């Protein structure tokens, strides 16, 4: 069960000790960069707390009924909150708080895991704070966020902090070979390209289309030689990420629509009851929000791929040791380093993060933010090879 926590040996030791009764807390905050396994760590601890073998050093066996149902997401006493929306609202948190006050069905703990605690609204945080301040004896809260700064200070001060690190390339590659049977060369590529993001590494290792999309994105910096090229690259990135997001959400949207029609008897009766229209409107609103969130996630991933190219160029420009993230396009990276200073490439990275902030924090349209960013990334006075 602990094997999915790649490169987190110290974290595993601390969680195992807690499951044995040493250093146990009623509230936890798991932090770490994207892909480091924050929610996996929370689920692993939840399974260890519910395990038939616990409390003790063997808790978290991964094979007993309790562990199996926790890992499958079907345990009666473990609630996982994930959101496809841009935020988690107060109504959802109030329902969690109500649930936290109930006695567990089993003999162990009532565990509530909030995967995206950084997306809690201010009202939701206030509703959560009182429950964390005055927990019941058998309730455990587990919050997950990228950094401690993403969580309200009054909440994080009441939680035990668990900080996960970015797994090393070697750890990620070994994990892919061991668990997914990936060839060593492909695993090494996926581990480097993912920059320690386990989910991304798995996608790159398993799917040729995902690898092709990434290859296209990391090829952009070498092509940004004119204003027209910048506009083309921005349009291409917006389009490919939108298509990928639509592929992920379209099937779910269709399934939700079918479930709604079935619930209101639209197919059986051949007509729509009065309550159907507002329910459909609410569903479509939620689906639009989810689609926007998913598109932004896809764009964000592409931006981090672009950042990796400029970081590689800085590494070459400063003669830093080590293997490049984008070793496969070393020629383009070396040329970028030749015609740009490390300071210029740092400015380009800053432009990427500025575009990211515009889209995520200030709701700037994706196409507009990407166009402005690509112009800032333009390479001037490039010498042809």
Summarised one tens digit per residue, pLDDT across range 48-71 is: 999 998 787 788 898 999 999 999
pLDDT of residue 4: 83
pTM of the model: 0.84
Average pLDDT, the chain: 92
pLDDT of residue 289: 87
Output the furthest CA–CA distance in the chain (Å, rounded): 72
pLDDT of residue 338: 95
**CB neighbour burial string for 303-312, b if at least 16 within 10 angstroms, e if fewer:** bbbbbbbbbb
pLDDT band at 134 (very low <50, low <70, confident <90, very high): confident
Range 167-188 average pLDDT: 95
Question: For residue 176, which of 168, 362, 350 has the smallest C-alpha distance?
Answer: 168
Range 226-245 average pLDDT: 94
* Alpha carbon distance 112, 39 (integer Å): 12
pLDDT of residue 268: 77
Report the residue count for the chain: 385
Percent of the chain at pLDDT > 70 equals: 98
pLDDT higher than threshold 50 for residue 295? yes
pLDDT of residue 382: 47
pLDDT of residue 385: 39
pLDDT of residue 2: 86
pLDDT band at 271 (very low <50, low <70, confident <90, very high): confident
* Alpha carbon distance 293, 96 (integer Å): 23
pLDDT higher than threshold 70 for residue 312? yes
pLDDT higher than threshold 50 for residue 364? yes
Range 296-314 average pLDDT: 96
Range 118-132 average pLDDT: 92
Range 77-105 average pLDDT: 89
pLDDT higher than threshold 90 for residue 6? yes
pLDDT higher than threshold 60 for residue 384? no
pLDDT of residue 383: 40
C-beta separation of 230 from 372 below 8 A: no
* Alpha carbon distance 162, 148 (integer Å): 10
Among 39-43, 271-275, 338-342, the least confident range: 271-275
pLDDT band at 284 (very low <50, low <70, confident <90, very high): very high
| Nearest-10 Cα torsion for 307, 312, 315, 320 | 130
């Amino acid at each position: 069960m602990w094997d999915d926590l790649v490169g987190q040996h110290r974290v595993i030791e601390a969680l195992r000790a807690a499951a044995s009764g040493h250093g146990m807390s009623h509230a936890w905050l798991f932090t770490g960069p994207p892909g480091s396994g924050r929610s996996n760590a929370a689920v692993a601890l939840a399974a260890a707390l519910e395990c038939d073998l616990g409390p003790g050093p063997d808790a978290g066996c991964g094979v007993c009924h309790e562990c199996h149902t926790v890992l499958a997401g079907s345990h009666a006493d473990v609630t996982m909150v994930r959101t496809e929306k841009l935020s988690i609202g107060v109504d959802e948190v109030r329902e969690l708080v109500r649930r936290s006050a109930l006695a567990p069905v089993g003999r162990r703990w009532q565990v509530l895991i909030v995967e995206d605690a950084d997306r809690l609204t201010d009202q939701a945080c206030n509703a959560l704070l009182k429950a964390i301040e005055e927990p019941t004896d058998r309730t455990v809260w587990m919050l997950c966020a990228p950094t401690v700064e993403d969580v309200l200070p009054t909440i994080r001060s009441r939680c035990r902090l668990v900080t996960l690190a970015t797994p090393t390339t070697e750890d990620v590659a070994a994990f892919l070979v061991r668990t997914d049977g990936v060839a060593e060369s492909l695993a090494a590529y996926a581990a480097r390209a993912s920059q320690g993001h386990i989910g991304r590494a798995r996608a790159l290792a398993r799917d040729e289309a995902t690898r092709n999309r990434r290859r296209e994105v990391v090829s952009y910096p070498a092509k940004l030689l004119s204003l027209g090229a910048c506009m083309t690259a921005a349009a291409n990135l917006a389009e490919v990420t939108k298509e990928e997001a639509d592929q992920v959400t379209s099937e779910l949207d269709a399934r939700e629509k079918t479930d709604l029609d079935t619930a209101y008897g639209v197919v059986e009766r051949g007509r729509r009851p009065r309550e159907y229209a507002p329910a459909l409107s609410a569903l479509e609103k939620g689906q639009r929000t989810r689609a926007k969130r998913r598109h932004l996630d896809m764009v964000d991933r592409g931006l981090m791929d672009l950042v990796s190219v400029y970081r590689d160029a800085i590494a070459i420009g400063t003669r830093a040791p080590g293997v490049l993230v984008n070793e496969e396009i070393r020629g383009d990276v070396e040329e970028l380093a030749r015609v740009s200073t490390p300071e210029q490439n740092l400015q380009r990275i800053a432009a990427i993060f500025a575009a990211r902030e515009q889209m995520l924090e200030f709701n700037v349209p994706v196409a507009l933010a990407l166009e402005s960013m690509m112009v800032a990334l333009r390479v001037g006075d490039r010498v042809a090879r």
